[in-house]
């Protein structure tokens, strides 16, 4: 028996095995390549993720610093000469536990647990807000940089750096023709023109009866409504659309006074008050009080005596005690015996009265107990030989009590010509201004303020009494006994209003200045800025439609363009503050 071997079969089996081994090798190679690629892709992805996490951590480092600087700036405790506290601020300063512990933070020079903080010298800059062209401010240019790297990730040791440029800006508030912290309403019955910038920190209601035209930019934090408020008795009445010659928008950033973390109107109004005993005058609120900023403080005691002393600039040194007794009558610029009837408030008004004409004499006359010595001392301490700055601001504290039938207030008279350095008069009480004020030229409708001096009037409310006003006629019907004359007032106003509520209209911006006379056919020329920061606390009578206690004047109102120059702002002008962000960029991470 012969056995035959099938060589071909054996050969085919070998080839099959060899082929299988080749394909298996190729598969293994492909798998290895795929795994290698996947591993590499994973490493790239993880490095990218780690970089993005480091960018976020570095950004948190920057924001930690900016938040502290912004807070201190608003609270007036920012010191650009001492940046160490900000450089030592990192996320763990505020979050001592949690994710910040997974990172190490450095500045741009690799110093651990620090940030890079650079601030330039303050400068005056224009166009600080693109939404309000031409607005200028006192600007601190700043840059903050922070680098972050995750701890314990040697395989993906990816750090990142972030840099933010920004500005801390202080904006003099009288750059606006109208500035409201409360809801702003402008609903004039006659054509009205607003020639300056307008800002609101709440909502805005614009529903003119005939016409309303804005020459400059308009913005509000809330919404611009082309209706009247729901609590307004005229809500729903048909109105015409206002005309905007420049930008107008809602949703703007808020501008607030730097008095601390609470900028509610109930807190802001305290800038008018006498500070309580023991309050630090350099505290956020203390530094903003007019009482602590003015040159001269006049106090009317509960008995009616008058005391005068210098402001904090001279450590509140007493000047003359009771000036009504120590100065000859012809030079005593303070009177406390006058009173009149306010038909809007339905109260008798007892006033501490400031005679500006006599104040001018008191500043310069050499008679005993005059103010020339103090005025010269102020000139020596402030200003330069070329531009000496004398006494130019007064705070009046009338401590006499009010009652349901009596309103304690302040009145300025004979103010056609002011001291050469201007004059700010401030009080927590209602303020009345009688006759032409800061008005060398009384031509009706004149918008040329080139010959005026810087001036502001600050109070619980602002009432304008024409040159024809007589206290003795204040109880007579306004249509026959209180006939107004043409009047000119050139001053910035900061005061309160009685807000629209309970089916009562506030009177709107058109009635921000109060009237008590028959103004029909007469012109009130006004150049200035109108600022509303709070509701009135003392003069709280409702505004009532014309024909009850007054009829309105022809309003020739305009923004005073002097306020567009820092040197021409009224004394003690407040600043609203904000942070304006600039360029944000990533930078090369520093190696610790």
| Cα Rg of the chain, angstroms | 35
In angstroms, the CA 336 to CA 341 distance is 16
For residue 460, is it within any domain? no
For residue 85, is it within any domain? yes
H-run or E-run covering 161: strand 159-172
**Domain enclosing residue 159, as ranges:** 11-173+578-587
Q: Give whole-number Cα distances, 68 to 60, 64, 72, 74, in Å.
A: 12, 7, 6, 10
Give CA 558 to chain center in angstroms.
21
For residue 16, is it within any domain? yes
Say how many C-beta atoms besides its own lie within 10 A of residue 565's C-beta.
11
Q: What is the largest CA-CA distance in the chain?
A: 160
For residue 74, is it within any domain? yes
The tens-digit pLDDT sequence of the chain (592 residues) is 454 545 444 456 666 666 666 666 666 666 655 555 555 565 667 778 888 889 999 999 999 999 999 888 877 778 888 999 999 999 999 888 889 999 999 999 999 999 999 999 888 888 888 778 888 999 999 999 999 998 876 566 788 999 999 999 999 999 999 999 999 999 999 999 999 999 999 999 999 999 999 999 999 999 999 999 999 999 987 789 999 999 999 999 888 887 766 778 989 999 999 999 999 998 888 989 999 999 999 999 998 888 888 999 888 776 665 555 555 555 589 999 999 999 999 999 999 999 999 999 989 887 767 788 889 989 888 766 667 899 999 999 999 998 899 999 999 999 999 999 999 999 999 999 999 999 999 999 999 999 999 999 999 999 999 999 999 999 999 999 999 999 999 999 999 999 999 899 999 999 999 999 999 999 999 999 999 999 999 999 999 999 999 999 999 999 999 999 999 999 999 998 888 888 899 888 766 5
- Dig out the tokens for 128 from the structure: 């600080």
- Dig out the tokens for 446 from the structure: 């004149």
Give CA 251 to chain center in angstroms.
16
pLDDT at residue 5, as a whole number: 45
Block residue for tokens 């795994």: 35
Partners of 531 in beta bridges = 179, 494
Residues of 106-121 as b/e, b for ≥16 C-beta within 10 angstroms?
bbbeeeeebbbbebee
pLDDT at residue 382, as a whole number: 78
Q: Give whole-number Cα distances, 66 to 59, 113, 116, in Å.
A: 10, 16, 11
Q: Give whole-number Cα distances, 244 to 196, 213, 267, 282, in Å.
A: 12, 6, 33, 42
- Phi, psi for 104 (deg, rounded to 5): -110, 135
DSSP percent split of the chain into helix, strand, coil, nearest 5: 25, 30, 45
H-run or E-run covering 200: strand 197-200
Tally the domains of the chain: 1
For residue 59, is it within any domain? yes
Give CA 373 to chain center in angstroms.
36
Block residue for tokens 């008995």: 303
Q: Pairing relation of β-strands 197-200 and 575-587?
A: unpaired
H-run or E-run covering 193: strand 192-194
Instruction: Say if residues 333 and 313 touch (Cβ distance below 8 Å).
Output: no
- Dig out the tokens for 25 from the structure: 């090798």
pLDDT at residue 37, as a whole number: 53
For residue 505, is it within any domain? no
For residue 87, is it within any domain? yes
For residue 148, is it within any domain? yes
């Amino acid at each position: 028996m012969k056995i035959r071997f099938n060589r071909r079969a054996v050969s085919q089996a070998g080839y099959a095995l060899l082929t299988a081994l080749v394909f298996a090798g190729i598969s293994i190679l492909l798998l290895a390549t795929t795994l290698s690629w996947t591993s590499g892709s994973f490493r790239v992805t993880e490095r990218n993720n780690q970089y993005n996490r480091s960018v976020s951590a570095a950004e948190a480092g920057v924001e930690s610093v900016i938040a502290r600087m912004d807070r201190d700036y608003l609270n007036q405790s920012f010191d650009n000469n001492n940046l160490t506290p900000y450089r030592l601020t990192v996320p763990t300063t505020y979050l001592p536990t949690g994710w910040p512990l997974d990172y190490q933070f450095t500045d741009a020079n690799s110093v651990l647990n620090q940030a890079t903080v650079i601030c330039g010298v303050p400068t005056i800059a224009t166009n600080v807000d693109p939404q309000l062209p031409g607005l200028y401010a006192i600007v601190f240019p700043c840059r903050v940089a922070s680098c972050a790297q995750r701890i314990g990730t040697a395989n993906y040791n990816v750090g990142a750096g972030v840099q933010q440029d920004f500005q801390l800006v202080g904006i003099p508030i009288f750059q606006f023709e109208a500035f409201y912290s409360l809801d702003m309403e402008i609903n004039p019955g006659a054509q009205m023109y607003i020639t300056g910038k307008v800002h609101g920190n709440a909502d805005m209601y614009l529903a003119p009866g005939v016409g309303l035209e804005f020459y400059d930019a308009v913005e509000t934090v809330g919404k611009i409504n082309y209706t009247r408020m729901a609590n307004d008795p005229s809500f729903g009445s048909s109105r015409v659309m206002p005309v905007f010659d420049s930008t107008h928008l809602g949703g703007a950033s808020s501008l607030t006074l730097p008095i601390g973390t609470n900028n509610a109107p109930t807190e802001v109004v305290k800038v008018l008050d006498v500070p309580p005993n023991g309050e630090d005058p350099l505290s956020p609120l203390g530094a903003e009080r007019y009482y602590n900023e003015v040159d001269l403080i006049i106090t009317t005691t509960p008995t009616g005596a008058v005391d005068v002393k210098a402001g904090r600039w001279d450590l509140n040194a007493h000047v003359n005690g009771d000036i009504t007794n120590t100065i000859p009558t012809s030079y005593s610029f303070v009177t406390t015996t006058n009173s009149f009837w306010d038909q809007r408030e339905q109260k008798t008004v007892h006033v501490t009265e400031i005679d500006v004409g006599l104040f001018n004499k008191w500043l310069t006359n050499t008679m005993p107990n005059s103010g020339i010595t103090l005025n010269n001392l102020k000139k020596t301490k402030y200003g330069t030989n070329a531009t000496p700055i004398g006494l130019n601001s007064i705070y009046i504290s009338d401590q006499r009590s009010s009652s349901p039938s009596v309103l304690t207030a302040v009145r300025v008279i004979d103010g056609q010509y002011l001291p050469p350095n201007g004059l700010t008069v401030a009080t927590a009480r209602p303020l009345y201004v009688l006759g032409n004020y800061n008005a060398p030229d009384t031509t009706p409708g004149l918008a040329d303020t080139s010959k005026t001096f810087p001036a502001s009037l600050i109070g619980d409310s602002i009432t304008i009494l024409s040159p024809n006003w007589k206290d003795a006629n204040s109880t007579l019907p306004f249509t026959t006994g209180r006939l107004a004359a043409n009047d000119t007032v050139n001053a910035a106003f900061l005061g309160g209003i009685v807000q629209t509520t309970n089916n009562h209209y506030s009177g709107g911006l058109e009635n921000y200045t109060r009237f008590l006379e028959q103004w029909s056919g007469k012109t009130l020329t006004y150049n200035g800025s109108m600022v509303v920061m709070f509701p009135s606390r003392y003069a709280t009578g409702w505004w009532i439609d014309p024909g009850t206690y007054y009829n309105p004047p022809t309003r020739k109102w305009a923004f005073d363009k002097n306020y567009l120059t820092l040197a021409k702002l009224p004394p003690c002008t407040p600043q609203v503050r904000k942070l304006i962000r600039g360029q944000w960029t990533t930078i090369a991470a520093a190696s610790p």
